[in-house]
Amino acid sequence: MGESGIGPIQQADVSTIRFKNGAEVRGYDPEQYFQPKHLGFMDRFAQFAVIAAREAVKMAGVEWTPELQDSTAIVTGSCIGGRGSDETGYRELFTNNRNRVHPLTIPLSMENAGASHISIEFGIQGPTFTISTACSSASHAIGQAFWMVRSGAASMAITGGSEAPMFYGGLKAWEAMRVVSSDTCRPFSADRSGMILGEGGAMLVLEPLETALARGVQPLAEIVGLGMSSDAFHLIQPKYTGPEKAMRAALRDARLNPEEIGYINAHGTATGANDQMEAQAIHAVFGERAGSLPVSSTKSMHGHTLGAAGAIEAVATVLALRDGVLPPTANYSKPDPDCVLDVIPNVARKLAVEFALSNSFAFGGLNAVLAFRAYRS
Amino acid sequence: MPETIEQRVFKVIAKNQRIPLEKVMIDSSFEDLSIDSIDSINILFDLESEFEIEINDEQARQIPRVREMVEGVILLVNAKEKASHES
């Protein structure tokens, strides 16, 4: 572990863009997963949502019954949905002088397309919706699904997020924000130079522990808490008090004390603003332990997948708990005095921990933190 | 007399931030002018249009005050003129 998936962006012509690297899903052939006819109805982000849901359902050994299909919820997160399909359509109007766009432009681009395709795929007819809170989308989605299952509003949930942001106009918009690194993603490192965009999807199957055990399946981990907050401060400049409140809320929801947390999967974007602020928030919550508490940013390997980030990082956290191996912060080279944390530099660490947090903080100041517990039978 | 680069930069800042031109001075810090990070990105965007230059992210990070902004634009404008004479 510790291998970075970051490399030259291949899906778009980046010759006129200041950054050249991203974390793309490589060697992906959609026709291996979908009928050509169905592909016409699916933006890349929706394809990732369905593929991840199929893997999760298979791994969870779900056997659908009409009752289960009626009572299962689907909650997905996506920041930009199928905006790449919007771009394709608008290019016809603006540059190719056409007078019309493809008739499926709207259903391709809608943010809920991933959730809808999952519903159609499995015949799931329970509560199904999408949450779009920028980079916190998937964590908000998973948290919402968790609360629905815990309260009994749904007997099972498929939840996570997906994103496909590698299209020219979108990349240009990120370039204009001046937050993307020209080489790679080095979270918490003094020489960090910004984020690296990534794409992909991840989905979880959530159900009550006793139901899973009664079905005879082995849970990967338990989800035990959700904390949410808003900075109420600035559209893009984060303030540590918001993330601090969200982490405290997640601990409260999980009925945990800070000292019980053994690992944090950080938001860790590798921007100047996030990493310093996140370190400050962790210090505010964990006090003296903050400097020695293992904290890593897996974005250093899979990039910032925006609305899918919370889901991919939830999976990283769950597998860390299951396997007793904490993922590293890759590309780390130099300690930053403003980020005094044990960032698990460059090499994964064999360490069994019982409880972990996964942080997501979004533009707009919207924060969502999930708490997980290792499952020990 | 044609406007200096400095005067043009001041105008871009004042117009972008919707503040009186006389408030923008060479020694103003962005803090003095209540210019935060998102405002700064906005101003750089307008400066790139005004002077037909491209300001890279590394250069952009090193601008805490109006003075550095003016000096940076002068450097880029001179480099552009030199390049156009050579070609």
Q: Which CATH number goes with the domain that contains A318? A: 3.40.47.10
From chain B, the residues in CB contact with A182 under 8 A are 57-58
Q: Does the active-site annotation cover B46? A: no
pLDDT digits (tens, 9 = 90+) for A51-102: 999 999 999 999 999 999 999 999 999 999 999 999 999 999 999 889 999 9
Structural contact between residues A197 and A171, judged by C-beta atoms closer than 8 angstroms: yes
From chain A, the residues in CB contact with B58 under 8 A are 182
User: Within this chain, do residues A112 and A166 fall inside the same structural domain, yes or no?
Assistant: yes
Which chain A residue has its CA at the smallest distance from B45's CA?
Answer: A176
- Which value does ipTM take for this structure? 0.83
Is A177 in Cβ contact with B57 (below 8 Å)? no
User: Within this chain, do residues A205 and A225 fall inside the same structural domain, yes or no?
Assistant: no
Which chain A residue has its CA at the smallest distance from B54's CA?
Answer: A18
Chain B contact for A194 (CB, 8 A cutoff): yes
Q: Does the active-site annotation cover A185? A: no
Cα–Cα nearest to A133, from A315, A308, A333, A312: A308
Label residues A205-222 b or e (16+ Cβ within 10 Å = b). bbbeeeebeeeeeebbbb
User: Within this chain, do residues A70 and A172 fall inside the same structural domain, yes or no?
Assistant: yes
Terminal CA-CA length for chain B? 28
Alpha helices in chain B (DSSP H): 5-17, 37-51, 57-61, 66-86
Total of domains in chain A: 2
A134 in a structural domain? yes
CATH 2.40.40.20 corresponds to the domain B5-86: no
pLDDT digits (tens, 9 = 90+) for B14-53: 999 999 999 999 999 999 999 988 899 999 999 999 999 9
* pLDDT on residue B63: 87
User: Within this chain, do residues A360 and A229 fall inside the same structural domain, yes or no?
Assistant: yes
User: Within this chain, do residues A283 and A365 fall inside the same structural domain, yes or no?
Assistant: yes
Domain ranges of chain B: 5-86
Q: Which residue has the higher pLDDT, B71 or A2?
A: B71
A60 in a structural domain? yes
* pLDDT on residue A149: 98
Residue A254 has pLDDT above 80, yes or no: yes
* pLDDT on residue A160: 98
Residue A353 has pLDDT above 80, yes or no: yes
* pLDDT on residue A2: 63
Chain A contact for B84 (CB, 8 A cutoff): no
User: Within this chain, do residues A202 and A235 fall inside the same structural domain, yes or no?
Assistant: no
> pTM score, two decimals?
0.95
* pLDDT on residue A373: 98
Residue A335 structural domain: 221-374
pLDDT digits (tens, 9 = 90+) for A17-31: 999 999 999 999 999
User: Within this chain, do residues A46 and A110 fall inside the same structural domain, yes or no?
Assistant: yes
Enumerate residues 6+ apart whose C-beta is below 8 A from A376: none
User: Within this chain, do residues A143 and A32 fall inside the same structural domain, yes or no?
Assistant: yes
User: Within this chain, do residues A163 and A24 fall inside the same structural domain, yes or no?
Assistant: yes
User: Within this chain, do residues A204 and A236 fall inside the same structural domain, yes or no?
Assistant: no
Q: Which of B37, B56, B61 sits opposite A18 (nearest CB)?
A: B56
Angle between helices A272-286 and A241-253 (to 10 degrees): 50
**A249-278 residues touching B, CB cutoff 8 A:** 272-273
* B60: confidence class by pLDDT, cuts 50, 70, 90: confident
A343 in a structural domain? yes
User: Within this chain, do residues A200 and A51 fall inside the same structural domain, yes or no?
Assistant: yes
Shortest Cα distance, chain B CAs vs residue A8, angstroms: 19
User: Within this chain, do residues A122 and A151 fall inside the same structural domain, yes or no?
Assistant: yes
Residue A240 has pLDDT above 90, yes or no: yes
From chain A, the residues in CB contact with B61 under 8 A are 272
From chain A, the residues in CB contact with B38 under 8 A are 234-237
Radius of gyration of chain B (CA): 13
Chain B contact for A18 (CB, 8 A cutoff): yes
Dist. CA A72–CA A115, nearest whole Å:
12
A127 in a structural domain? yes
**B8-47 residues touching A, CB cutoff 8 A:** 36-38, 41, 44-45
Cα–Cα nearest to A202, from A334, A98, A59, A92: A59
Query: Any bridge partners for residue A357, and if so which?
Result: A264, A371
Chain A contact for B60 (CB, 8 A cutoff): yes
Is A234 in Cβ contact with B36 (below 8 Å)? yes
